[in-house]
Structure 1
């Protein structure tokens, strides 16, 4: 059985082809083609990887992306479907840890750049994968806000299966909603639906106005 990350790779690829290489995304001035180049370079160019993780080495990634600037979109989609043999992302544990949110959010960056976008319906086990990943990455994502934050997935039981504390403290802001919508918000995207915010007004405002994400 293929993993959620495998499935999301293929779904992102199909959405990219449907949108077209020159279509906009939610990633600033990047087109769909630019976004696919980023994903392919991130996974397959060993020389460029330090530039993604270490800010001062950004030029390595920029150089690699320029090398692939002329690659046809279908070729990029094909390369995204399976990481190269030498890529650390070929290891399932690395792929799951590093790519669950990366691929979900970037897939939505393609989908939600269209004016007519609607939320996707993921299978229950896929939503749990996104929720699990948010619990791991969320601490770093909310750090810029500087306020206590919890996320809640309503109707999913009690305790850790329903609520995650991302930053501890008294009088936290609780953000409630579906996992993908929470992911979009925590990665600094404005295109999300159905989220509710509870907590002191000043802290809610600080969270909503912060530059969230890595």
Structure 2
């Protein structure tokens, strides 16, 4: 039986293929080709991918990313579909699921929601719960740059504190939408924000997420 990460991987590959290499994405400055190269480098070149989080290694990451960006677009799509080599930690189903379910979901929406005719996707309840559990664990990291208190709330009332502070802004939405919001895609996430107008404006204008 396929995992959430495997399904999101194939969906991302399909979306990238349909969009074409020059299509825009929600990743600032990146086309679909750039995003595809990023996904491949992250899985296949751990020596360079460390630069995603470690600034001293960023120049190496940029160099390797440029090399992969120059590859035929069809080859990049195929590398995403087939997944990492057996020697990669990502080849282990448990690691793939833990590391890539959210990653591929967010990047799939980066492609989908950058297109003018995009339509909202309905997630199955099981996957929504998976996203919520991951969000609960990562909320403090994702929301650490919030200038005000930030609480995430599901429609059923479950909450997670992303940042302590005052005043407080409560963001209500489905887990997938809250995930996009906290990963810095506030402008396209279908959520409702409750709080003081100035505080809401500050949250909308702050780059949330791991790379914030």
Q: 5+ unaligned residues in a row in structure 1: which ranges?
A: none
Runs of 4+ in 1 over 3 A off after TM superposition: 168-171
Q: State the TM-score, normalizing by the size of structure 2.
A: 0.90
Pair 13,149 (structure 1): closer, same or farther in 2 beyond 3 Å: same
CA deviation after TM superposition for structure 1 residue 154, in Å: 0.3
Matched with 2:55 is 55
Q: State the TM-score, normalizing by the size of structure 1.
A: 0.89
What is the Cα-based RMSD across aligned positions, in Å? Answer: 1.8
Aligned length in residues: 209
Matched with 1:184 is 180
CA deviation after TM superposition for structure 1 residue 172, in Å: 2.8
CA deviation after TM superposition for structure 1 residue 202, in Å: 3.5
Q: SS in structure 1 opposite 2:145? A: helix
Deviations 1:77-133 (A, max 9, x none): 221132221222123333233222211111111111111111111111111121122
Matched with 1:46 is 46
Query: Contact (CA 8 Å) 1:184, 1:191: kept in 2 or not?
Result: no
2-structure distance, mates of 1:201, 1:146: 13
Deviations 1:28-79 (A, max 9, x none): 2211111000010011113212212201210111111122123222221221
Query: Contact (CA 8 Å) 1:142, 1:149: kept in 2 or not?
Result: yes
Query: Contact (CA 8 Å) 1:43, 1:87: kept in 2 or not?
Result: yes
2:168 to 161, 165, 172: 172
Q: 5+ unaligned residues in a row in structure 2: which ranges?
A: none
Query: Contact (CA 8 Å) 1:50, 1:60: kept in 2 or not?
Result: no
